[in-house]
Amino acid sequence: MTDPDRLIAAAREAAAHAHAPYSRFAVGAALLLTDGSIVTGANFENASYGLSLCAETVATATANAAGRLNDIVAVGIVGGRIGHTDTDPIRPCGRCRQVLNEAAQMGGRDLAVHCSGLAGGEIETHRLSDLLPSAFGPANLGIGGHA
């Protein structure tokens, strides 16, 4: 199985654990680390809606908690309406692009971002630097590996 296929499959598994009773929109994210291991996250909503966390943010913080923030090389993201058969690829929201950029610049590498739908569909691949051009990040503060 290719890395994109592995990541999208792991993201789909993670999306099954989305806590999304308000939006009824499940998102899963999977991060590929330098050693081939995968860290996942799902969106985690809150009754105080604005406190909700996106899947990519949860996954990135989980990698950081394992001491692996600098080791992320690629991301897989799926999302779609619960109970539907959505196959349109989900791209990371603006805030999550900035969160992923933190990992990218700390690790000193651009990230591959693979996007697909919750129920299947094509895998669309981007570079994070294309999704968030001219990014502000740790490099501006003289910190990290400076992607």
d(CA 75, CA 73): 7
| Dihedral, 19, 124, 64, 132 alpha carbons, nearest 10 | -110
Which of these, 94, 23, 96, lies nearest to 55 by C-alpha position? 96
Report if residue 105 touches ligand THU, rule: CB under 6 A. no
Q: Per rule CB under 6 A, is residue 116 in the interface with ligand THU?
A: no
R_g of the chain computed on alpha carbons: 14
Stretch touching ligand THU by CB under 6 A, among 1-9, 50-58, 111-119, 139-147: 50-58
Q: How many Å apart are CA 82 and CA 136, to the nearest integer?
A: 34
Q: Are strands 112-117 and 72-81 parallel, antiparallel or unpaired?
A: parallel
93 binds ligand THU (CB under 6 A): yes
Distance CA 104, CA 113 (A): 11
String marking each residue 53-92 x if it binds ligand THU according to CB under 6 A = -xxx-----------------------------------x
Measured distance CA(128)–CA(25) in Å, rounded: 23
Query: Active site residue: 13, 45, 56, 122, which one?
Result: 56
Residue 43 near ligand THU by CB under 6 A: yes
Taking the least distance from each CB to ligand THU, the nearer of 84 and 140 is 84
Active site residue 56: yes
State the number of binding residues for ligand THU (CB under 6 A): 13
For residue 25, state whether it binds ligand THU (rule: CB under 6 A). Answer: yes
Residues that bind ligand THU (CB under 6 A): 20, 23, 25, 27, 43, 45, 52, 54-56, 92-93, 96
Catalytic sites, residue numbers: 56
